[in-house]
Amino acid sequence: MMDEKSSVTLERIQQAALAEFLDKGFQGASLRQIVKSAGVTTGAFYGYFSSKEALFASIVEPHAAAIMGRFMEAQTEFAELPEAEQPSHMGVESSACVDWMVDYMYQHLEPVKLLLCCAEGTSYEHFIHNMVEVEVEYTEHYIRVLRNLGRDVPALDHQLCHIIASGMFNALFEVVVHEMPYDRARQYIRQLREFYTAGWYKLMGE
């Protein structure tokens, strides 16, 4: 178990890293500056982390896992409903998921901003893109369900679904990127969801 002193040192390194990464991004961040700001030696740093990337991951991974985990849960909950029930649930699971995500992001604003804005050059740089890919896969699955139910859904190609989903997720995360006040962010995202839901209904011939 980590003793109190080393846990304080770990926290100092992560706090210094958070500031440096937010300021300069992962690639521009200086390990020397992080070590200096944390008041530790380079040797001491390597006692905690094997690399700058391992340090970055230690800050963002819990949040990446929480957001992606909740998102996947909402997608699979919806997809596992009996097909006949899915149309009446359209947007229910995803709406609850988005509300949860907004609350979560505002409770962990700095590390989430790090994940969304400063991850270029790390394994997290495609985080939003990966969510978009999942969204598209489940959207296409839902379109097949509607057709199985006898709905006349017009042809929607993969690229179009990708562009729409990409626009939606990038818009959703804009609130964090620009650190909008929480109440405004909630309202903005509610309106955004109404806009996208209406658009999907229109495209799906509803």
Q: Is 51 exposed, middle or buried (0-12, 13-18, 19+ CB in 10 A)?
A: exposed
The amino acid at 65: A
Per-residue pLDDT of the chain (206 residues), as tens digits, is: 456 678 899 999 999 999 999 999 999 999 999 999 999 999 999 999 999 999 999 999 999 999 999 999 999 999 999 999 988 888 778 888 999 999 999 999 999 999 999 999 999 999 999 999 999 999 999 999 999 999 988 888 999 999 999 999 999 999 999 999 999 999 999 999 889 989 988 888 76
Q: What is the pLDDT, as a whole number, of residue 4? A: 67
CA 31 → CA 55, 111, 171, distances in Å? 10, 18, 32
Domain boundaries, the chain: 1-49, 59-203
Domain made up of 1-49: CATH architecture: Orthogonal Bundle (1.10)
Helices (H), the chain: 4-28, 31-38, 42-46, 52-79, 86-89, 92-107, 109-117, 127-148, 158-177, 182-203
Return phi, psi of residue 10, to 5°: -55, -45
> Which pLDDT score is estimated for 163?
95
